[in-house]
Amino acid sequence: MATIKDIAEQAGVSRGTVDRVLHNRPGVNKEVSLKVKTIAKDMGYKTNRAGRLLAAKKKPLKVGCLLPDIGNNFFESIIKGFEKAYDENKDFGLTYIILHIKGFEVLSHLKEIDNLVKQNCDALLLTTIDHPLIIKKINALIDSGISVACVNTDIPKSKRLFYVGADYFKSGQTCAGILNLMTKTKREILLLNGSYKMFGHNERLKGFIDTLDRNNTDYHIVEKDETLDDIERAYLITKKALIKYPEINTIYLGAGGSDGVGKAVLEERADNKPIVLCFDKVKETMHYINIGIVDATVTQAPFNQGYFSLKYIFEYEMIYNKKKKIDDYICPTHIYIKENL
Amino acid sequence: MATIKDIAEQAGVSRGTVDRVLHNRPGVNKEVSLKVKTIAKDMGYKTNRAGRLLAAKKKPLKVGCLLPDIGNNFFESIIKGFEKAYDENKDFGLTYIILHIKGFEVLSHLKEIDNLVKQNCDALLLTTIDHPLIIKKINALIDSGISVACVNTDIPKSKRLFYVGADYFKSGQTCAGILNLMTKTKREILLLNGSYKMFGHNERLKGFIDTLDRNNTDYHIVEKDETLDDIERAYLITKKALIKYPEINTIYLGAGGSDGVGKAVLEERADNKPIVLCFDKVKETMHYINIGIVDATVTQAPFNQGYFSLKYIFEYEMIYNKKKKIDDYICPTHIYIKENL
DNA sequence: TTGAAAGCGCTAACAC
DNA sequence: GTGTTAGCGCTTTCAA
């Protein structure tokens, strides 16, 4: 494998010059630069991770993560993923901080992004809102040389470098796929979305309906509502619906709130349980799967979302020197039932 | 973070001596050694990956992998995993070779293990047979200083360092869990095991039956046989059984052969399809899931098996210097249906 | 515009 | 037994 030293010898220049050329740093004669570049190409030069990373220790990378995780334990696994990626790369000069916030208010998100920048982050990992002001902010950051990637929630129209997260539509389709597997009799569905303001939740719902329609599933939506990721609200809605509509035989829960739904089902339908399908694998959901109230849950590898986003942005900065495009990473869609929990 | 240099200064010795102590190399005064060790501990010394790996380039690690993959494309993903781990670590001095063999004959496995050793491998990743002679061989290798880990198939009574692979029992349980989800009517089952000689296949079957019994599933095993991972054989057995026993409404396929089973079902039961459940996610299985013949398949992250086994043995040797016990890695059990394929 | 040299942390060869 | 030194590949600073 060709090294900088090899190239320098071939080109009859010093290693410093080669380094300057390879990083497009100013102050190199055009002809020399061209010569070095062609030689590097000819020799198939690839920067060596070990050398690069050892030298990089002097100038560590600080990544700032914005996580609207207050009051939402879905994000626990993402944080575990961050920790793992940090662990593997801290010796190579990686540091990171997490800013925990609550909810999805544009102004508070904007403020906290600035907050991360003020703390001298070189790169940002954001779980934020697809909104014109945020897009503008991300684009400005990118233009100023700060790398930004999206985690869990994409903002495709911005200049963000890459997205690591779920394919919500597919998770909804998978949920419908399970339902079709389970029974062919007519489904009377209580449809509980998370929030109609959330792009991901809506996509999920679309995917669910899409697959039901595509398979000519015999179904009828008895009632629909939003849980707003609120347990109490989920409980009340479910309880009321189950009382009012005894025909309900299926519950779709598009986001948080399994604790409330589970409780309501236990109270109203302990013996004639409807099919209950939900998303993500937080503690409460696992509990209701274990006791047989929730039949299945669809997840999108949240650990991976944390792990790969941090790993990739680190590699983008520290190994590829911002010169290689990083592909989006769409997490695999998994189904969990009691037996493989 | 404390470095070797720091420790040397604190202890008033040279870095060379500290290095010797840290690696338990001979030729160090006992008292000096003790002193250095306590200081290292006090300062919380952890070897720095970047430094270690850069230096390690001089003495690369050669890992030899034994894979009985000839005629069995299940292993393709494992190989992809190897490639990924190699890619991430080649700059750190990792090299590897794969020895492809056919079948599970003890003598040929023994011979090929020797073959890998002859090619100067420093560490071995084996997918082999749980047999006294193999155990003896593995133990001898470990005693002679060659690291050995098991991939995909464990040999727990040997001195192998760790196991990376599936929990077959759990995969069988999960398969039964899907069946229980799908229907409550009596199951008339055609039970196709891979081979009764394979520990993993038997465990899988046990897990399947265990969960059926534990849930008081109403079932009856109409017929059982081995496919021996042979497509033609699987086809003939299935075809015959479907003709002879029209009551069959469920097929359990514990190993390779989905191509044969799928074909037979298409020919004999295109309109009144039994539930078909199988394992792994090879191309043919995916095809039969896509056209609706196979209902679901249970997998155990074969890519991860390759990726983590190579990654872990590399870290064991090159980062932890054989001094840290590596935990077994049991791959997660996943369910795939058409929608999340 | 370019070269020389030091240094990131660790290892190994050689010297004493 | 122990210290010294060179070097892994790359970056950066200082000097020219």
How do the domains of chain B map onto residue ranges? Answer: 4-47, 60-166+302-332, 168-299
Mean pLDDT, to the nearest integer, of A63-88? 95
Q: Is the pLDDT of residue A56 over 90?
A: no
Average pLDDT score, chain A: 95
Q: Is the pLDDT of residue B83 over 90?
A: yes
Show the tokens assigned to B86.
């190699």
Residues B118-158: pLDDT tens digits? 999 999 999 999 999 999 999 999 999 999 999 999 999 99
Residues from chain A that touch B49, judged by Cβ atoms under 8 A, are 53, 91-92
Mean pLDDT, to the nearest integer, of B1-15? 90
Residues A4-22: pLDDT tens digits? 999 999 899 999 999 999 9
In whole angstroms, give the CA distance from residue A89 to residue A80.
14
Q: Is the pLDDT of residue B220 over 90?
A: yes
pLDDT bracket for residue A27 (50, 70, 90)? confident
- For A128, phi then psi, to 5°, come to -140, -160
Residue A246: C-alpha distances to residues A190, A232, A262, A272 (Å): 11, 21, 17, 10
Pairwise CB contact (< 8 Å): A339 & B174:
yes
Residues from chain A that touch B211, judged by Cβ atoms under 8 A, are 339
Percent of chain B with pLDDT over 90: 89
Residue A269 near residue A46 (C-beta atoms within 8 A): no
Pairwise CB contact (< 8 Å): A91 & B177:
no
Residues A156-204: pLDDT tens digits? 999 999 999 999 999 999 999 999 999 999 999 999 999 998 889 999 9
Distance, Å, B1 CA → D2 C1'? 26
Helices B302-318 and B76-89: angle between axes, nearest 10 degrees: 30
For strand C, the positions having any atom within 7 A of a protein Cβ are 1-14
Residues B316-337: pLDDT tens digits? 999 998 989 999 999 999 999 9
Q: Is the pLDDT of residue B181 over 90?
A: yes
pLDDT of residue B321: 87
pLDDT of residue B333: 97
pLDDT of residue A326: 96
Show the tokens assigned to B43.
């300062």
Distance, Å, A21 CA → D10 C1'? 13
State the pairing for strand pair B296-299/B334-336: antiparallel
Interface of B with A in 233-292 (CB under 8 A): none
Q: Is the pLDDT of residue A24 over 90?
A: no
Interface of B with A in 43-102 (CB under 8 A): 48-51, 53-54, 56-57, 91-93
pLDDT of residue B71: 84
Distance, Å, B15 CA → D4 C1'? 10
Fold (topology level) of A168-299: Rossmann fold (3.40.50)
Residues B244-264: pLDDT tens digits? 999 999 999 998 889 999 999
Q: Which of A169, A320, A339 to mutate to test the interface with B (most CBs of B within 10 A)?
A: A339
pLDDT of residue B130: 92
Fold (topology level) of A4-47: 434 Repressor (Amino-terminal Domain) (1.10.260)
> Does nucleic acid strand C have an atom less than 7 angstroms from the CB of B22?
yes
Average pLDDT score, chain B: 95
> Does nucleic acid strand D have an atom less than 7 angstroms from the CB of A184?
no
In the 20-49 segment of chain A, residues within 7 Å (Cβ) of strand D are 20, 22-23, 47-48
pLDDT of residue A58: 84
In angstroms, the separation between the Cα of residue B11 and the nearest Cα of chain A is 24
pLDDT of residue A258: 93
CA B63 to chain centre: 16
Pairwise CB contact (< 8 Å): A181 & B177:
no
Domains A4-47 and A168-299 share a fold: no
pLDDT of residue A197: 85
Write the CATH number of the domain with boundaries B60-166+302-332: 3.40.50.2300
Residues B12-57: pLDDT tens digits? 999 999 999 998 888 889 999 999 999 999 999 999 999 999 998 8
- Sequence-separated contacts (24+) of B83-91 with Cβ below 8 Å: B83/B306, B84/B303, B84/B306, B84/B307, B85/B306, B85/B307, B85/B308, B85/B309, B85/B310, B85/B311, B85/B314, B86/B310, B88/B311, B89/B310, B89/B311, B89/B314, B91/A1, B91/A48, B91/A49, B91/A50, B91/B53
In whole angstroms, give the CA distance from residue B183 to residue B168.
24
D9 closest protein residue (CA to C1'): A51
pTM of the shown model: 0.94
In the 6-35 segment of chain A, residues within 7 Å (Cβ) of strand C are 12-17, 20, 26-29, 32-33
Q: Is the pLDDT of residue A1 over 90?
A: no
Mean pLDDT, to the nearest integer, of A133-152? 97
Pairwise CB contact (< 8 Å): A51 & B54:
yes
Distance, Å, B292 CA → C8 C1'? 58
Pairwise CB contact (< 8 Å): A181 & B337:
yes
Residue B283 near residue B262 (C-beta atoms within 8 A): no
Minimal Cβ distance to B49: which of A51, A91, A211: A91
In angstroms, the separation between the Cα of residue B110 and the nearest Cα of chain A is 35
In angstroms, the separation between the Cα of residue B232 and the nearest Cα of chain A is 29
Residue B177 near residue A340 (C-beta atoms within 8 A): yes
Taking CA–CA distances from A208, the nearest residue in chain B reads B339
Residues from chain A that touch B56, judged by Cβ atoms under 8 A, are 50
Residues from chain B that touch A332, judged by Cβ atoms under 8 A, are 334, 340
pLDDT bracket for residue B103 (50, 70, 90)? confident
pLDDT bracket for residue A73 (50, 70, 90)? confident
Q: Is the pLDDT of residue A341 over 90?
A: yes
One-letter amino acid for residue A200 of the chain: G
* Least confident interval from A56-60, A99-103, A115-119, B330-334: A56-60
